C-alpha cells in the first residue's frame, strides 16, 4: 500500500498534523475535508474527493484522513490503528491534546514509519530504536534519571579522550509558527513549536551553560545531558554536550510573542460568476528584520476559467491551477506589497461568488535571527576545565511558517 498523505483534524476542523508526500494533497482537498467535519458528513469511511480516494477514522478527539493510491481500502484502516497504537505506546505525555503537545516527536515517528508513502514499520519497539530516548520521555521520567547521572558524575554518552585542533560549538534555535486569523483580521489562535539543535566539536569533558531571557516555554523535552532540576531552579540549561550533532531540547507555546506577517484582504463579487481580490501584505517586525521567501497562496473556485492579474506591487504572481501563487523575496517594515486580480467562473449551480465559502489563504515565509516565542539567549558559557582553549561559538535563530492562514 502507498500512502499519498495523512492529515489529522480536531473536532473543530483545525489541522494538528499533516504529512503530504509528493505534494499530492491540495488546498482544495483540505477545504473539502474541513467542510465534511463541520457539516458532519463522516458517515462514509471511504469516499472520493474528485478522483482521490480517502479513508477516515475517528480516534479520541481527532479525525484521521489517509489519502491512498489504489483501491486497497482495508490496509489504510489497519495502518491508522497501528499508528494510533504506536503513538500511545511511545508517548508519555498524554491527555486531550495528545497530538498538539507532541508535534515534533510525531513528525519523527512518521519519518520512521513511512518513507515517500511506503510503510516501513508500525512496530513501536522498532521505532523506539531510532528515536532518542529523551524525546520519548516526559518530565517525570527525566527528573528521575538525570539526578542519578549527576550524583554518580557519569557521562555515559561522551568519551573522555576527544580532542580537536579547533574547538567549536554552535546552536540553532528553530521555531515553527502557526496562526489563524479571522475574516475581520483578528487572531483566532497561534502556537509555536521550537527546538534547539547543537553542533559540538569540543575537546575533553566540557561544561556548557545557557541562560535565557525568557524561560516560560511550555511542554519542554530535554536531552538526557540536561539537568532538569537545575533548569527548574535557575531557568538556565547546564550540560555536558554529546560529541557531534544533537537536539538539545524541544518546546511549544500556545501564544506567540510575535506574529511576523499580516495580510489585509478586500474581496468584491460583482456577480455570481465574477469577482475581484485585493491583497496587501506587510511585516509586523522591526525595520531591521527581514521576512524572506514569502509565498502567499490565494485559492480559486474549482470552476474558475479566467484570471486577470491587474496589479502587482512587489514580487511576482501567477496562477497555479487552483490558486494564485504570489512570491515576494523580501518583506520588511514599513514596506507594504499589493496584489490585485479579477477572475470569472463557468456557470454552475454549485457556485455563486457572492456567497462563496472561500478556503483559507495560506502564507509561507522564514525569518532569520529572530524568535516568535520571545526566547533569546542571554549568555553562553563554556568551561573546559584545565584545557583553557579558545572556543568558537555562536547562536542563531530562525522562524519558519507552519499552518499560517487567513480567513476572508
Q: What is the rounded CA–CA span in Å between residue 179 and residue 184?
A: 14
Residue recorded with cell 491551477: 321
Is there a cis peptide before residue 339, judged by omega within 30 degrees of 0?
Answer: no
Fold agreement (3-135, 261-368): no
Q: Which three cell numbers stand for residue 143?
A: 527528573
Q: What is the rounded CA–CA span in Å between residue 17 and residue 347?
A: 36
Question: Average pLDDT, whole number, for the chain?
Answer: 86
**Binning pLDDT at 50, 70 and 90, where does residue 138 land?**
very low
CATH-assigned architecture of domain 261-368: Sandwich (2.60)
**Binning pLDDT at 50, 70 and 90, where does residue 148 land?**
very low
pLDDT: which is higher, 165 or 228: 165
**Binning pLDDT at 50, 70 and 90, where does residue 212 land?**
confident
Instruction: Among 2.60.40.1170, 1.10.3720.10, 1.10.3210.10, 3.20.20.70, name the CATH number for the domain at 168-257+370-406.
Output: 2.60.40.1170
Residue 236 has pLDDT above 90, yes or no: no
- 3-class SS string, 207-252: EEEEEECCCCCEEEEECCCECHHHHHHHCEEEECCCCEEEEEEEEE
Backbone angles phi, psi at 14, to 5 degrees: -100, 135
Residue 404 has pLDDT above 80, yes or no: yes
CATH of domain 3-135: 3.30.450.60
pLDDT digits (tens, 9 = 90+) for 74-102: 889 999 999 999 888 888 656 667 888 77
Domain spans, the chain: 3-135, 168-257+370-406, 261-368
Answer yes or no: are the C-beta atoms of 330 and 292 closer than 8 Å: yes
Amino acid at each position: 500500500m502507498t500512502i499519498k498523505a495523512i492529515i489529522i483534524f480536531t473536532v473543530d476542523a483545525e489541522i494538528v498534523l499533516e504529512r503530504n508526500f509528493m505534494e499530492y494533497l491540495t488546498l482544495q482537498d483540505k477545504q473539502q475535508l474541513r467542510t465534511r467535519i463541520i457539516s458532519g458528513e463522516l458517515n462514509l469511511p471511504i469516499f472520493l474527493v474528485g478522483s482521490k480516494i480517502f479513508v477516515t477514522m475517528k480516534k479520541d478527539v481527532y479525525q484521521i484522513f489517509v489519502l491512498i493510491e489504489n483501491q486497497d481500502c482495508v490496509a489504510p484502516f489497519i495502518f491508522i490503528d497501528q499508528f494510533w497504537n504506536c503513538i500511545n505506546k511511545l508517548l508519555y505525555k498524554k491527555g486531550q491534546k495528545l497530538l498538539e503537545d507532541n508535534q515534533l516527536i510525531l513528525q519523527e515517528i512518521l519519518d520512521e514509519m513511512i518513507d515517500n508513502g511506503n510503510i516501513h514499520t508500525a512496530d513501536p519497539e522498532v521505532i523506539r530504536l531510532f528515536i532518542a530516548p529523551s524525546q520519548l520521555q516526559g518530565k517525570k521520567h527525566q527528573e528521575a534519571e538525570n539526578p542519578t547521572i549527576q550524583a554518580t558524575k557519569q557521562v555515559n554518552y561522551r568519551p573522555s579522550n576527544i580532542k580537536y585542533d579547533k574547538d567549536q560549538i554552535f546552536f540553532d534555535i528553530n521555531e515553527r509558527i502557526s496562526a489563524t486569523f479571522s475574516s475581520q483580521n483578528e487572531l483566532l489562535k497561534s502556537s509555536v513549536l521550537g527546538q534547539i539543535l547543537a553542533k559540538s566539536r569540543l575537546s575533553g569533558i566540557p561544561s556548557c551553560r545557557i541562560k535565557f531571557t525568557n524561560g516560560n516555554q511550555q511542554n519542554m523535552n530535554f536531552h538526557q545531558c540536561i539537568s532538569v532540576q537545575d533548569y527548574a531552579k535557575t531557568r538556565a540549561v547546564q550540560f555536558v554536550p554529546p560529541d557531534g550533532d544533537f537536539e538539545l531540547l524541544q518546546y511549544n507555546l500556545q501564544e506567540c510573542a510575535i506574529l511576523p506577517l499580516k495580510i489585509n484582504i478586500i474581496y468584491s463579487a460583482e456577480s455570481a460568476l465574477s469577482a475581484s481580490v485585493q491583497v496587501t501584505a506587510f511585516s509586523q517586525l522591526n525595520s531591521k528584520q527581514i521576512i524572506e521567501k514569502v509565498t502567499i497562496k490565494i485559492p480559486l473556485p474549482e470552476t474558475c476559467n479566467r484570471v486577470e492579474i491587474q496589479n502587482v506591487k512587489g514580487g511576482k504572481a501567477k496562477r497555479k491551477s487552483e490558486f494564485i501563487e504570489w512570491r515576494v523575496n523580501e518583506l520588511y517594515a514599513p514596506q507594504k506589497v499589493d496584489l490585485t486580480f479579477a477572475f470569472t467562473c463557468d456557470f454552475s449551480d454549485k457556485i455563486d461568488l457572492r456567497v462563496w465559502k472561500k478556503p483559507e489563504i495560506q502564507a509561507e515565509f522564514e525569518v532569520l535571527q529572530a524568535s516568535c516565542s520571545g526566547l533569546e539567549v542571554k549568555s553562553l558559557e563554556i568551561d573546559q576545565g584545565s584545557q583553557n582553549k579558545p572556543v568558537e561559538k555562536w547562536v542563531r535563530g530562525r522562524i519558519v511558517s507552519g499552518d499560517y492562514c487567513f480567513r476572508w
